[in-house]
Amino acid sequence: MNQRWIIAIVAAVFVVGAGLVVSFSKHKPGTENRSSGAATASVGQMLDEAAQYQARGDQLKAKDLYAQVIADHPDYDKIEDVQDRLGVLSMALITSNTPTPQTVLHEVVPGDSLGKLAKQYNTTTALIKKSNNLKSDVIRVGQKLRVWTAPFTVLVNKSQNILILKTGEDVVKVYHISTGANNSTPIGHFKIAAKLVDPVWFKAGSKPIPPESPQNELGSRWMGFAENPQYGIHGTIKPNLIGQQATAGCVRLVNHDVEELFDLLAPGTQVTIQD
């Protein structure tokens, strides 16, 4: 898989109404115009400035600069490194206690619980706990909690076997995935419904396969689709097949990645799957 081709796809993702659309570049990998010396110098200055913001603790400005480099200079010869930096920084911001335009500071009142707050703000208890460094589900009246409020969306591109996590118009992170063999992963719009930790695999024609079994191909997490419950996003016991069309139709990630997504994606999260 050509990394620069993936970056070109990511840079072209935009929002139309309530749906996600991908516009593909017309040129093929290897035919990109090389950046001019002036453009490369400009990128270098932007990256240096982003690093300075990070060193001063201004993660938001650093993130914005990385995103600008990707949008304005997709032919930069180290653009995949910039995408990786942006993904790491974006995830660190989302799971930190740093105030952002997408967060609120909620003061706990009688009757509040993590589950209740997660439903109120359309987020997950896991993300609230991570953002506030909570070691248990216990919260106290008067406690102030930083809560992420911006909904996430997911775009799956089958031809490139990538999953793009977005919030609003911002690309948060790009994940490598496996999709269905023989193009069997359904296309369309779906919403996440069932979310299971260490799922049992109810394989057709066999007894239920427990999570501890080395034959359980669902890995460590399952996020099923409301519209088509037999399909979903899950982990894997075959990480060597990531990047290939190799599943029975589901979207498969390495366990570390699916666990990261699991903690962010609330029930009802929109998933768009495209060829």
Mean predicted confidence (pLDDT) in 204-227 = 93
Q: Could you confirm whether 250 is annotated as catalytic?
A: yes
pLDDT at 123 over 60: yes
Q: Taking a C-beta distance cutoff of 8 angstroms, is the pair 89, 63 a contact?
A: yes
Confidence of residue 39 (pLDDT cuts 50, 70, 90): low
91: its two tokens = 């995830």
* 234 catalytic residue (yes or no): yes
Overall average pLDDT of the 93-98 stretch: 94
Whether CATH 2.40.440.10 fits 153-274: yes
Q: Are 44 and 197 in contact (CB under 8 A)?
A: no
CATH topology of domain 103-148: Membrane-bound Lytic Murein Transglycosylase D; Chain A (3.10.350)
State the pLDDT confidence band at 37, using cuts at 50, 70 and 90.
low
- pLDDT at position 204 is 81
> Is residue 22 predicted with pLDDT exceeding 70?
no
Residues 142-183: pLDDT tens digits? 999 999 999 999 999 999 999 999 998 888 999 999 999 999
Q: Give the tokens for residue 167.
A: 């919030």
Residue 36 clears pLDDT 60, i.e. is over it: no
| Catalytic annotation, pick one of 27, 106, 189, 234 | 234
Domain boundaries, the chain: 3-94, 103-148, 153-274
Count CB neighbours of 202 within 10 A: 11
CA gap 243, 239 in Å, rounded:
9
Active-site annotation holder among 106, 189, 250, 256: 250
Is this prediction's pTM over 0.75?
yes
Tokens of 86: 């942006």
Beta bridge partners of 14: 21
pLDDT value for 162: 96
The gap between the terminal CA atoms of the chain, to the nearest Å, is 16
